[in-house]
Amino acid sequence: MLSRKRITIFILLISLTIIIFSSSTIFAKLIELEAKAEGKNHTIETQFREHATKGSEIELLEGFEQLPERFAKVESKMELFLTFDDGPTPFTPAILSVLRKYNIKSTFFMLNGNILKNPDIVKAVAEEGHSIGCHGVSHKVSAFYRTSTSPREEMETCGKSVEEMTGQVVQLIRVPFGSSPHLTASQKKELDQAHFIMWDWNVDSADWRMHSSEQMVQSVLMQVNRIKEKGIKPVILFHDKEVTAQVLPKIIEKLMEMGYEFKAISNDDAPMQFKIRT
């Protein structure tokens, strides 16, 4: 009986010895792994500090200056569309020069007769990245709005001329004198079914009747401020005229000061349209 107890005690002692030895081995491994991890962290931290130190020592290249504080934050800007009707004319190159100076893209709604007279200007407008739309052929109320299909037919003729000169398929259009009050619902339906995208405007520069540059500037800014308060995107109507080319820089600079950025109309933009009479 005593011998059996001794055997049992002996077995328990051996088991405890094995457990204690295994625990010590595991604990030692854990300590070793922790030490290695700390060593890696220290290496990474050291490398990071060295990289940061090197970065702080980099100097700006000669001739370059740090950006002004106002460029430090990226702020969202309001968009605005400049549009030009009735061209191209002998004054279109001057307008293009102004737009080029300010790195602005805009939209030109062209008349078929002027397209045929000035193919080089049409190509220049396209090559400089501006959008081209059609303004029709006749530019006469009696002819353009004569039948339910006449607006579509004029736009198709105009579009064909642009495509032949530039390779661009035209979908953007602006009907003569705006869609109200002349364009009917049936004429609008014809244009829509032909996949034309019609644009009117909500700011009139009045360059077609005004000769005072200062009056034009004040009129445009007043209209833009009015619709800005309503959160509406300005679509400004200009024409390819000499007075327009002269006053355009001042208007652009004022609009830039207001926080606007300029964009050419694309087929994806939601069009600004007057209410069509039924």
Q: Does the predicted TM-score (pTM) go above 0.95?
A: no
In a domain, 63, yes or no: no
Question: With b meaning 16 or more CB within 10 Å and e meaning fewer, what string describes 188-207?
Answer: bebbeebebbbbbbbbbbeb
User: By C-alpha distance, which of 41, 265, 268 is closest to 132?
Assistant: 265
Number of domains comprising the chain:
2
Regarding whether 170 and 84 lie in a shared domain, the answer is: yes
In a domain, 176, yes or no: yes
Regarding whether 235 and 114 lie in a shared domain, the answer is: yes
The Cβ of residue 32 has, within 10 Å, a number of other Cβ atoms equal to: 10
pLDDT tens readout for residues 155-208: 999 999 999 999 999 999 999 999 999 999 999 999 999 999 999 999 999 999
In a domain, 62, yes or no: no
Domain residue limits at 19: 1-53
pLDDT score at 5: 60
Distance from C-alpha of 202 to C-alpha of 197, rounded to nearest angstrom: 16
Compute the Cα dihedral for 180, 183, 189, 191 and give only its sign: negative
Write the CATH number for 115.
Answer: 3.20.20.370
Regarding whether 87 and 17 lie in a shared domain, the answer is: no
Regarding whether 212 and 141 lie in a shared domain, the answer is: yes
pLDDT tens readout for residues 138-150: 999 999 999 999 9
Low-confidence residues of the chain: pLDDT under 50: 1-2, 26-28, 30-31, 33-75
Regarding whether 127 and 7 lie in a shared domain, the answer is: no
Regarding whether 133 and 88 lie in a shared domain, the answer is: yes
Distance from C-alpha of 31 to C-alpha of 221, rounded to nearest angstrom: 74
In a domain, 110, yes or no: yes
User: By C-alpha distance, which of 234, 212, 210 is closest to 222?
Assistant: 234
